Chain A
């Protein structure tokens, strides 16, 4: 499980649940006479989490201090060399900047659009289920397949986008092979999918608002933007947090659409954190440096999670 996984918990960790924080949960009737049962039930899952989440996270920290030959052979201790190289590498600088641009350009519009679309679906008359289905489809789509399709839509010669420009009397644009437009084109695909995901989550969130609320606001004459601001959004707060967290992790990890559409080029103009890590690890075969990039990414996202949590805890207290 990738992005959904990671973020749900951030929400849980970040939003104080009615029954107290996640650390203080309130299980009820137990089988207190069989004290081992819960541990046995938890054992497989916990072992797997230790092995495949905590283990690798730690391994990325350890590996980041070594030179690791991909073809086997012994690891050589390298001190902070990997980090020094990573911080000095213009490829990584560019990737960090592009990841930031990609994140900002997909997260904010997709949340706004997703919320508006979810609200719009509630206003639509008959046949809204058809529109809903159409709008959720991008979220289920295979991103490699969609990257292939977008690559063709934005192909310089014969691509649909340039055909449209031609009809409008404009010169064709070399979307994916020009440094000015490559990241933008990748962002379009990212946005197309992210909007769908946000809309789905907002739709799910909206269904939890009881109809009595809608009736009450109708009686009081609260409508439109006022209703959205004063009633709907406050009630959707947990969903907004959830969607935000999900969007951040999703955007920061963007890999396959870049890898298929541009391979990070041209001139590194669409290189992102994960494509750079993959390039350093599996094209330049410097696994130690790739581990350092992975660990920096993990640490940054953890920090974002922790800061987010602290801020919200402050707000509520």
Chain B
């Protein structure tokens, strides 16, 4: 009997504890975001802003931080880069930081993740008029949702295929740029493998699966997201396009390793084809020995390039809950997009397409520009938005797409894999 009473008491205590905890949650901070105040009504010495960004933004952020501290004496800027340069990791980190009450004011996000923020965090709209001289406003479409600009593109890249010219020449392919359709790509890969006995191409699915698959689908002329927002490429042509991965594995020419490992192999001269982003060209140029004869080529399409590629890279979004912090965050964005900042974010160390055309002009002034870098800086074909599905399920959609690519990479036919992927993504979206 006594035991029963004690047990009841203990249970009651625990319940009370937990319920009071739930009660606390009710009053927790909401998800409303402040719109920016007029900056002259804010006191910099009483304000501090916190940034969250991936390491590739560091030089430009540090430069802009100095400019801001001079312009607004007393303003505190907390800007520590995340360790990982992967945009899904960055989103995870920002959400988890917010969960422990350390919500940043100004965040970098992959262009493909913008819908996640607009759907769940109500970011502050951005006034394009505040952007600095030389900023290429055509990139702003990548930062728009339903006609409102929320994101200022910061570092832009495009999907590309890197080729090792020496290996290809040894296999009898002397003009890699002539590889424009998937049949030619597969044929070249088979020839190289026949010659070397080793896998000759890597298309990774670990780092940017949604972007790579979107690029392969769009360059083949198919839609990634249908008009009604549902899965767009469960069509005969779409399946055939993304089926490239499965055919490469069936032909035993595919290496199937992660982005970093594939890059290491390419730089070491072991790989004929490596699908990459132009932003990695600078890294590879540093990693590779001087005599590596390599070049980026336009991404082939199923029957030759037939559609615009998705813009890669990242931009800045203001998710501050305080109007003064939002105002300083917007001012900070402006400083990160100037010619000087753009040279740091997109120049020699990071081969992004500069978002400020004054920076591009400056970069192209030099002599001895490596042709690979020139390719990265001057890519001027039109780009589409990255992704485009509704935002709340972004992470799960990316993982589902990754699973699709992984399944294809085991050699499973696209006719089985793609419909299943379409079904699960559409059910996530309620379509």
Contacts and interface: CB of A to CB of B under 8 A. Distances in A.
Question: Are chains A and B native binding partners rather than an unrelated pairing?
Answer: yes
Nearest to B27: A74
B28 A50 contact: no
Given A174-B256, A177-B257, A282-B92, A73 B29 contact: yes
Interface size bucket, B side? 35 or more
Given A54-B14, A55-B17, A156-B261, A73 B92 contact: no
State the main secondary structure of chain B at its contact with A.
helix
A73 B406 contact: no
A112 to B, nearest CB: 33
Contacts, number: 95
B369 interface: no
B98 A71 contact: yes
B103 interface: yes
A267 interface: yes
B80 interface: no
A69 B31 contact: yes
B21 interface: yes
A74 B28 contact: yes
B190 interface: no
A248 B406 CA distance: 31
B18 A267 contact: no
A71 B26 contact: no
State the main secondary structure of chain A at its contact with B.
loop
A74 B25 CA distance: 6
Contacts of B393: 284
B25 A71 contact: no
Given A50-B10, A155-B261, A174-B256, A70 B96 contact: yes
Given A62-B18, A282-B96, A284-B396, A267 B410 contact: yes
B18 A58 contact: yes
Interface in B368-400: 393, 395-396, 399
Contacts of B258: 177
A184 interface: no
A266 interface: yes
Contact of B26 (A59, A62, A74): A74
Interface residues of A, number: 32
Contacts of B120: 71
Given A54-B14, A62-B18, A74-B26, A174 B257 contact: yes
A51 B257 contact: no
Contacts of A73: 25, 28-31
A70 B403 contact: no
A36 B402 CA distance: 61
A265 B256 CA distance: 13
A178 B249 CA distance: 12
A11 B409 CA distance: 47
Contacts of A266: 205, 403, 406, 409
A55 B30 contact: no
B395 A284 contact: yes
B170 to A, nearest CB: 20
B201 to A, nearest CB: 15
A75 interface: yes
A73 B410 CA distance: 43
A72 interface: yes
A55 B31 contact: no
B42 interface: no
Contacts of A70: 95-96, 98-99
Nearest to B88: A283
A265 B264 CA distance: 21
B25 A75 contact: yes
Nearest to A264: B399
Given A59-B21, A72-B25, A157-B261, A179 B92 contact: no
A72 B29 contact: yes
B235 interface: no
A97 interface: no
9 contacts: A54-B14, A59-B21, A71-B95, A73-B28, A157-B257, A177-B257, A282-B95, A283-B399, A285-B95
Nearest 7 pairs of A and B residues by beta carbon = A72-B28, A266-B406, A72-B29, A267-B406, A70-B99, A71-B98, A74-B26
Given A71-B98, A174-B257, 18 more contacts: A58-B18, A62-B18, A62-B19, A70-B96, A70-B98, A71-B31, A71-B103, A72-B99, A156-B257, A157-B264, A157-B270, A179-B406, A265-B206, A266-B205, A267-B403, A283-B88, A283-B92, A283-B396
